[in-house]
Amino acid sequence: MRYENPLYMAEDAGAADLISGGRLQLGISRGSPEQVIRGYEHLGHVPAEGETDAELARRHTARFLEILAGEGFAEPNPRPMFPNPPGLLRIEPHSPGLRRRIWWGAGSRATAEWTASQGMNLMSSTLLTEDTGVPFHQLQAEQIQVFRDAWAAAGHDWQPRVSVSRSIFPLVSEMDHQLFGLQTRSQDQVGQLEGGRARFGRTYAGEPDDLIAQLAQDEAVAAADTLLLTVPNQLGVDYNAHILDSVVRHVAPGLGWR
Question: Residue 34: which pLDDT band, with cuts at 50, 70 and 90?
Answer: confident
Indicate the number of domains in the chain: 1
Give a yes or no: residue 198 inside a domain: no
Domain span including residue 4: 1-103
> Following DSSP, what letter does each residue of 43-104 receive, concatenated?
GT--PPTT--HHHHHHHHHHHHHHHHTT---BPPPSS-SS---SSSB--SS--TTGGGGEEE
Q: Are 231 and 240 in contact (CB under 8 A)?
A: yes
Give a yes or no: residue 125 inside a domain: no
Beta bridge partners, 196, equal 193
Mean pLDDT score of the chain:
95
Closest among 210, 119, 214, 122 to 165, alpha carbons compared: 122
Q: Are 71 and 82 in contact (CB under 8 A)?
A: no
pLDDT at 171: 98
Q: Read off the pLDDT of residues 133-167 as tens digits, 9 standing for 90 and up.
A: 999 999 999 999 999 999 999 999 999 999 999 99
pLDDT at 111: 96
Q: Read off the pLDDT of residues 187-231 as tens digits, 9 standing for 90 and up.
A: 999 998 877 899 999 999 999 999 999 999 999 999 999 999 999
Show the CA angle centred on residue 158, arms to residues 156 and 164, nearest 5°.
100
b/e code 72-109 from CB counts within 10 Å (16+ = b): eeeeeeeeeeeeeeeeeebbeebbeebbebbbbbbbbb
pLDDT at 195: 79
Give a yes or no: residue 151 inside a domain: no
| 169: pLDDT strictly greater than 90 | yes
Q: What is the mean pLDDT of residues 119-126?
A: 96
Q: Read off the pLDDT of residues 195-206 as tens digits, 9 standing for 90 and up.
A: 789 999 999 999
| 243: pLDDT strictly greater than 80 | yes
b/e code 167-193 from CB counts within 10 Å (16+ = b): bbbbbbeeebeebbeeebebebeeeeb
Give a yes or no: residue 60 inside a domain: yes
Give a yes or no: residue 208 inside a domain: no
Question: Residue 183: which pLDDT band, with cuts at 50, 70 and 90?
Answer: very high
Question: Residue 43: which pLDDT band, with cuts at 50, 70 and 90?
Answer: confident
Give a yes or no: residue 10 inside a domain: yes
Give a yes or no: residue 165 inside a domain: no
**Backbone phi, psi, residue 77, to 5°:** -70, 130
Residue type (1 letter), 142: E
Give a yes or no: residue 85 inside a domain: yes
Tell the burial category of 50 from Cβ atoms under 10 Å away from its Cβ (0-12, 13-18, 19+): exposed
